[in-house]
């Protein structure tokens, strides 16, 4: 059978000859398209929110800016604490990660070449330090400085506040600021930031009262939207001591901020949100800077405290603690050297509110009032002072060893006769004196608007002694000591100033305040002493100021009422003295009360006395206040 091959007719269509290589390309294109569609779909449908959020994070930057702090004025509107511009050079460690990594591998390679096994942890630290030091060297070259970076600071910053700027040089002078502005490229990791630092026009004056601030990013977020955005917080300031700390919330400004759209390289393109930070509230304090400066000058290099109070209002006119420090050296930050210097001279302590001292003879006024109120003595009581008094088996001496002879209350205050008050105190008993001291609030802080006022003041009694000395009893000698302000008594200079003000106003407590025109109305309890008895105390103080132990506090035409004290203490294991003065002026209608306390210095064998050392300082302050 002959099989004929199929005849291809002309109208039959030719089957296309497909090149097999095209299938490969179709396959590749198909797979790619599927991957693209799949990927696109996945991203659009499932990762939409994440991408939106990431886009926002990539396209926007939020910068929070704390408001400038309020200004602090004295009672006459003189600026005590202001603000000044602060320029600093910083780097963002977060943006240096690639360089850290590169430096890390370089160090590892070098160590391996030397046959050493690199320690990962320490190598990372070294790498970070090297990179940051490189930028510091760039600044050193531009500014002709020789600054070194601190590895510990870098690590602390790296682990705790990576997104915040790491300061390379703080507080650039104008010339250096201009040089960096001109010569550091905008896209350099080194950024030049402007900020605010506190400025103290009077330097050391009222340093302990005004206080200082330190940089902090702990400020409220405010109302700037965009919590989820990459946020940078400019450093603000937080009060660390004094009024700056006590009134921190009031002084701190309202947080503002900006949101910027940025290009892929992070360059700011357009500001989309702007909220101006608000300045903090100003503060007018009761201090009179002229009186403050005068008191500080009067103290010179002596160690101690001066507190001056306006009797009618309780406003503190001056609050001095020496040694002091220049507040400008603490702004914008406290350097290690400055901290050491202040620590060495013991200047961090505010002696006016934190220093505890035996009050010495000025406490005799408490004993006198207690004795008058209890009826132990009267206007006609006379006690003979032979120069000593035997209490128990021990002789307690008067400061005049030959004795004052017969003394009434007025003479005893004028002459500060110990024997008179030993007698009053021992007859009155410890509880009579202690309760009287507590009535004058001497066992508690005054409540002045300063942080850190000590609460460890001590008005002792038998119960306290028993608990403190494992059941030891209270002796008559303890009462004798306490009656002249010695022994276990510990009080602060500001307590003594309020005590002087309360005697001047015939009340038991004048609450001191550092706010001018404080709307809080003070409730004052009356002294609880018959006028004729109270007149004895005032007359004794007037005579002390006129011709007694406190005579150097006044002068002709400027009579003052006062009481001096010279307490025996041990300082650093060596005996020395504390010189005290409390008083008020004018004698009639007193307006100002002052307490002065000067510490003796054992090494310098100072022979300070209340009348010879403290009273002349008080005189200068009285003169300034009374304009005489």
Q: Between residues 68 and 476, which has the closer beta carbon with respect to another protein? A: 68
Q: Examine residue 105 and tell whether it contacts another protein (CB under 8 A).
A: no
Q: Examine residue 256 and tell whether it contacts another protein (CB under 8 A).
A: yes
Q: Examine residue 627 and tell whether it contacts another protein (CB under 8 A).
A: no
Q: Examine residue 258 and tell whether it contacts another protein (CB under 8 A).
A: yes
Q: Examine residue 6 and tell whether it contacts another protein (CB under 8 A).
A: no
CB of 444 to another protein, least distance (A): 41
CB of 67 to another protein, least distance (A): 7
Of these, 31, 32, 54, 181, which contacts another protein (CB under 8 A)? 181
Which residues, 6+ apart, have CB-to-CB distance to 31 below 8 Å? none
Q: Between residues 85 and 386, which has the closer beta carbon with respect to another protein? A: 85
Q: Between residues 234 and 294, which has the closer beta carbon with respect to another protein? A: 234
Q: Examine residue 26 and tell whether it contacts another protein (CB under 8 A).
A: no
Smallest Cα–Cα separation from 145: which of 133, 154, 159, 153? 133
Q: Between residues 109 and 152, which has the closer beta carbon with respect to another protein? A: 109
> Measured between alpha carbons, how far is 308 from 544 in angstroms, rounded to an integer?
19
> Measured between alpha carbons, how far is 447 from 451 in angstroms, rounded to an integer?
9
Residues in contact with another protein, counted by CB under 8 A, come to a total of: 34
Torsional sign, CA 46, 48, 49, 54 = positive
Q: Between residues 190 and 448, which has the closer beta carbon with respect to another protein? A: 190
219: which DSSP letter?
S
Q: Alpha-carbon dihedral of residues 306, 307, 311, 313, nearest 10 degrees?
A: 150
Contact 325, 204 (CB under 8 A): yes
CB of 243 to another protein, least distance (A): 20
Contact region for another protein (CB under 8 A) — 190-198, 522-530, 548-556, 613-621?
190-198
CB of 618 to another protein, least distance (A): 41
Of these, 165, 167, 195, 548, which contacts another protein (CB under 8 A)? 195
Q: Is 189 helix (H, G, I), strand (E, B) or coil?
A: coil
Contact 597, 626 (CB under 8 A): no
Q: Examine residue 493 and tell whether it contacts another protein (CB under 8 A).
A: no
Smallest Cα–Cα separation from 124: which of 104, 110, 150? 104
Contact 551, 331 (CB under 8 A): no
Q: Examine residue 251 and tell whether it contacts another protein (CB under 8 A).
A: no
Of these, 267, 384, 390, 575, which contacts another protein (CB under 8 A)? 267
Smallest Cα–Cα separation from 306: which of 566, 73, 74, 593? 593
- DSSP per residue, 64-105: EEPPPPPPEE-TTS-EEEEEEEEEEEEE-GGGGHHHHHHHHH
Map residues 49-88 to x or -, x wherever contact with another protein holds by CB under 8 A. Answer: ----------------x-xx--------------xxx-x-
Q: Examine residue 17 and tell whether it contacts another protein (CB under 8 A).
A: no
The three-point CA angle 170-171-176 to 5° equals 100
Residue 478: phi and psi, rounded to 5, are: -65, -40
Q: Between residues 24 and 162, which has the closer beta carbon with respect to another protein? A: 24
Of these, 177, 247, 421, 499, which contacts another protein (CB under 8 A)? 177
Element (H, E) at 553: none
CB of 534 to another protein, least distance (A): 53
The residues in 504-563 that bind another protein, with binding defined as CB under 8 A, are none
Which residues, 6+ apart, have CB-to-CB distance to 578 below 8 Å? 357, 358, 360, 565, 566, 567, 569, 597, 598, 599, 600, 608
Q: Which residues face 233 on adjacent strands?
A: 64
47: which DSSP letter?
S
Q: Examine residue 144 and tell whether it contacts another protein (CB under 8 A).
A: no
Q: Examine residue 165 and tell whether it contacts another protein (CB under 8 A).
A: no
Smallest Cα–Cα separation from 486: which of 317, 358, 392? 358
Contact region for another protein (CB under 8 A) — 204-212, 268-276, 345-353, 364-372?
268-276
334: which DSSP letter?
-
Q: Examine residue 196 and tell whether it contacts another protein (CB under 8 A).
A: yes
Contact region for another protein (CB under 8 A) — 115-123, 269-277, 281-289, 596-604?
269-277
Of these, 1, 45, 114, 182, which contacts another protein (CB under 8 A)? 182
Q: Examine residue 178 and tell whether it contacts another protein (CB under 8 A).
A: yes
Q: Examine residue 194 and tell whether it contacts another protein (CB under 8 A).
A: yes
Residue 270: phi and psi, rounded to 5, are: -150, 140
* Token duo for residue 186: 């905008």
Residue 321: phi and psi, rounded to 5, are: -135, 125
Q: Between residues 185 and 375, which has the closer beta carbon with respect to another protein? A: 185
Q: Which residues face 284 on adjacent strands?
A: 73
Crossing angle for the helix pair 476-483 and 430-439, nearest 10 degrees? Answer: 40
CB of 85 to another protein, least distance (A): 5
Contact region for another protein (CB under 8 A) — 170-178, 225-233, 391-399, 620-628?
170-178
Q: Examine residue 99 and tell whether it contacts another protein (CB under 8 A).
A: no
Q: Between residues 180 and 489, which has the closer beta carbon with respect to another protein? A: 180
CB of 81 to another protein, least distance (A): 15
Place of tokens 């760039």: 138
CB of 263 to another protein, least distance (A): 8
Of these, 276, 335, 378, 607, which contacts another protein (CB under 8 A)? 276
Of these, 26, 42, 269, 469, which contacts another protein (CB under 8 A)? 269
Q: Examine residue 24 and tell whether it contacts another protein (CB under 8 A).
A: yes
Smallest Cα–Cα separation from 621: which of 554, 540, 544? 554
Contact 360, 614 (CB under 8 A): no
Positions in the binding site for another protein (CB under 8 A)? 21, 24, 65, 67-68, 83-85, 87, 174-175, 177-179, 181-187, 192, 194-196, 256, 258, 263, 267, 269, 274, 276-277, 279
């Amino acid at each position: 059978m002959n099989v004929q091959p199929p005849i291809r007719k002309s109208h039959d269509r030719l089957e296309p000859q497909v090149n097999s290589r095209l299938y490969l390309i179709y396959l590749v294109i198909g797979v790619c398209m599927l991957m693209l569609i799949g990927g696109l779909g996945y991203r659009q449908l499932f990762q939409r929110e994440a991408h939106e959020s990431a886009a926002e994070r990539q396209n926007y930057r939020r910068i929070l800016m704390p408001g400038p702090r309020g200004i602090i004025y004295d009672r006459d509107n003189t600026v005590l604490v202001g603000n000044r511009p602060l320029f600093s050079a910083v780097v963002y460690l977060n943006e240096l990660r690639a360089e850290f990594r590169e430096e890390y591998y370089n160090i590892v390679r070098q160590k391996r070449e030397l046959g050493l096994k690199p320690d990962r942890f320490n190598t990372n630290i070294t790498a970070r330090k090297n990179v940051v030091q490189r930028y510091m060297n760039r600044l050193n070259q531009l500014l002709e400085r020789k600054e070194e970076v601190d590895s510990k600071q870098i690590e602390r910053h790296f682990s705790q506040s990576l997104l915040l700027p790491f300061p390379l040089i703080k507080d650039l002078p104008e010339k250096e600021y201009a040089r960096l502005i001109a010569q550091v490229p905008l896209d350099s990791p080194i950024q030049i930031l402007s900020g605010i630092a506190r400025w103290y026009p009077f330097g050391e004056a009222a340093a302990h009262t005004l206080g200082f601030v330190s940089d902090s990013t702990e400020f409220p977020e405010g109302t700037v939207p965009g919590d989820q955005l990459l946020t940078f917080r400019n450093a603000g300031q937080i009060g660390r001591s004094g009024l700056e700390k006590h009134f921190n919330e009031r002084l701190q400004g309202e947080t503002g901020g900006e949101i910027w759209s940025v290009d892929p390289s992070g360059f700011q393109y357009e500001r989309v949100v702007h909220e101006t930070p608000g300045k903090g509230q100003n503060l007018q304090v009761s201090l009179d800077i002229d009186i403050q400066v005068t008191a500080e000058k009067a103290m010179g290099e002596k160690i101690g405290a001066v507190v001056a109070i306006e009797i009618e209002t309780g406003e503190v006119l001056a609050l001095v603690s020496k040694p002091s420090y220049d507040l400008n050296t603490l702004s914008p930050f406290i350097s290690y050297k400055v901290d050491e210097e202040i620590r060495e001279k013991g200047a961090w302590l505010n002696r006016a509110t934190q220093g505890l001292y035996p009050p010495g003879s000025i406490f005799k006024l408490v004993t006198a009032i207690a004795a008058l109120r209890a009826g132990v003595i009267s206007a006609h009581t006379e006690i003979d002072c032979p120069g000593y008094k035997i209490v128990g088996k021990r002789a307690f001496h008067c400061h005049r060893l030959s004795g004052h002879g017969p003394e009434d209350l007025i003479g005893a205050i004028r002459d500060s006769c110990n024997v008179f008050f030993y007698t009053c105190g021992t007859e009155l008993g410890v509880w009579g004196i202690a309760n009287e001291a507590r009535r004058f609030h001497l066992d508690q802080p005054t409540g002045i608007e300063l942080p850190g006022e000590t609460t460890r003041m001590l008005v002792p009694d038998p119960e306290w002694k028993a608990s403190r000395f494992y059941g030891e009893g209270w002796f008559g000698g303890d009462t004798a000591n306490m009656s002249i302000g010695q022994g276990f008594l510990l009080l602060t200079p500001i307590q003594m100033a309020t005590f002087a003000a309360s005697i001047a106003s015939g009340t038991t407590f004048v609450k001191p305040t550092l706010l001018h025109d404080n709307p809080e109305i003070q409730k004052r309890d009356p002294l609880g002493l018959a006028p004729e008895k109270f007149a004895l105390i005032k007359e004794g103080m007037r005579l002390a100021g006129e011709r007694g132990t406190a005579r150097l506090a006044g002068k002709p035409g400027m009579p003052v009422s006062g009481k001096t004290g010279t307490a025996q203490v041990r300082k650093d294991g060596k005996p020395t003295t504390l010189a005290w003065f409390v008083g008020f002026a004018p004698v009639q209608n007193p307006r100002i009360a002052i307490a002065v306390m000067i510490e003796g210095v054992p090494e310098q064998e100072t022979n300070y006395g209340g009348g010879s050392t403290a009273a002349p300082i008080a005189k200068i302050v009285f003169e300034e206040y009374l304009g005489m």
